[in-house]
Amino acid sequence: MPTYKKNKKSILSSIDVLPTGQEDTWLYTDIVKEHFFHPKNLIMDANKIKNYDGVGMIGSPACGDMMKMWIWVNKKTDRIRKLKWQTFGCASAIGATSMLSVMATEKGGMKIDQALKIQAQDITNRLGGLPIRKIHCSVLGDKALRSAINNYFLRSDQKQRIVEESARLIDKVSGVSDHDIEEAVLEGATTLEAVQKKTKVGIGNPIVIPEVEQLIRFYKEKYFG
């Protein structure tokens, strides 16, 4: 969690909000800054969470980014009436999840079926954009929300509504899935060489390279236009 009591310069340098030597040039929009410095629905002490309807967690603190999310659902309207979250992550992860929490709960709360359709680009659009190398941070929130919703379905005996996020194996030799390639593109690997450097896909099994290149083009268009 960021320590908001730090002085401004310390915060900016520690979370990579500014490029080195350019302390007057923000990488982020004013909307992102607002949601980072004043995050909505953030919970600092998870012990205070009571009587939630669903909980989801994505990532791991050991890897850098981790997201945990709790939801409360209006059973009569099937809407998310409250959402709280906690993360170890950068300014983009914090800002994106703060915005997601607003999107899910504004105007009386989003219908569950609508919330399941939220994508990273929807959050990025509401933020006014994110630096390309930080777009992958906005993926944590929507995945954590889907995890929390699935947990709600499980807890409320609606197992038929659970949506499994399955991955398709692309390269049996390296064990790389389409999700692995998607994550690599989100992290800035937008060429075959860059994706191979991150995942090793196709290096020992070149027959899959045309499909890998097609997926790279698809994910680049999906996230970056």
pTM for the full model? 0.71
Q: What is the pLDDT of residue 22?
A: 40
Catalytic residues: 63, 137
Q: What is the pLDDT of residue 97?
A: 92
Pairing type for strands 66-74 and 54-59 reads: antiparallel
Q: What is the pLDDT of residue 6?
A: 42
- Tens of pLDDT, residues 77-130: 999 999 999 987 778 889 989 999 999 999 999 999 999 999 888 888 899 987
Q: What is the pLDDT of residue 25?
A: 42
Nearest to 142 by CA among 184, 92, 91, 104: 104
In order of their start, the domains of the chain are: 8-161 (3.90.1010.10), 169-224 (1.10.10.1100)
Give the Cα separation of 98 and 86 in Å (integer).
10
- Where the chain has pLDDT below 70, the residues are 1-26, 59-65, 133-134, 136-138, 225
Rg, the chain, Cα only: 19
Give the Cα separation of 67 and 88 in Å (integer).
7
Q: CB under 8 Å to 164, separation ≥6 — which residues?
A: none
Q: What is the pLDDT of residue 17?
A: 44
Q: What is the pLDDT of residue 27?
A: 77
Three-state DSSP at 61 gives helix
